[in-house]
Amino acid sequence: MKIALLCHIEPDTGYPAQFEAAGFTLYYATTADQRASLDPKIAAEIRAVLTVGSIGLSAAEMDSLPNLEIICAQGVGFELIDTEAAKARNIQVTHGPGTNNSAVADHTLALMLAITRSVSYLDHRVRTGKWTQSRITLPGMFGKKLGIIGMGNIGHQIAQRCAGGFNMPVGYFNRRQMTDSPWQYFESRQALAKWADYLVVATPGGKDTLKLVDADVLRELGPDGYLINIARGTVVDTTALIESLRTDSIAGAALDVIDGEPEVPVEMISMIKNLVLTPHTAGRSPEAMDNMMKLVLANLAAHFGGKAVLTPVKA
């Protein structure tokens, strides 16, 4: 008998067939409305959920799935999964640490270069017939100072690329200092921002990191500093960031994530010159997607095979 799996996301081409071959019947609820109006008959069949950290699964949603046994977060993030509620119901929760580190680190450098060299803005200017007027002098990235908030595996890969490829001094802020790190530790976000030319946000989302980059941090980053966010939109105070960009209080920002995504604040739409936006796609390389899907399948196979899952989330 096949196992009912509810998908909050649409797996890439080829992966639904792999789930079907592994013994799962897929049901989809990829929008908030679909999740809120799930057919009770289908809800009663669901034994597994595939989601992402920015969608998650609330206690109320779990209550609507009486036979739920396991929740698999596709990537590393699981911030909107109510892990305490899952624990209370003995529902297993897994995630995908390490599956997309390289892709996210690569995308971070793409964003850094794009905002530094005004790639999006100049592309727009050229396409609108302003070739000659657009040949402006732009800063470089080589040798500039990189500050990272959240020196985990992704932060470390970003640091390696920037230090090795661009000769950038690296500093970081963490919950605690890393004893084996070659990078400079700062005891506050503000101190790191004041020192850095680039401030990269690479910390997990969730209530503990809510608006970690606020008006004070942006003020310290200053008019020559750039903010890069490849973590979660909730880590940055959007209102403060918009004001900093509007008043040129920072040099620019490049965001792969936005609080409230996929909705983009209307104020950001016209900020072509000092803001680069991508649609939460940093971790989506073919290799990363394959890593994530294989790990989800492995965790599901382990759970329904009576074995320990590979990458559990502990409440």
User: Hey, which residues are catalytic here?
Assistant: 232, 261, 280
Sheet holding 146-149: strands in order across? 184-185, 170-173, 146-149, 198-201, 226-229, 252-255, 275-277
Residue identified by tokens 């007027």 is 133
Residue identified by tokens 């209307």 is 266
How far apart CA 289 and CA 310 sit, in angstroms, is 17
Burial of residue 24 (CB within 10 Å: 0-12, 13-18, 19+) is buried
286 contacts: CB under 8 Å, gap ≥ 6: none
Encoding tokens for residue 93? 């929760």
Sheet holding 70-73: strands in order across? 24-28, 3-7, 46-51, 70-73, 92-94
Do the beta carbons of residue 85 and residue 59 sit within 8 Å?
yes
Strand partners of residue 254: 228, 276
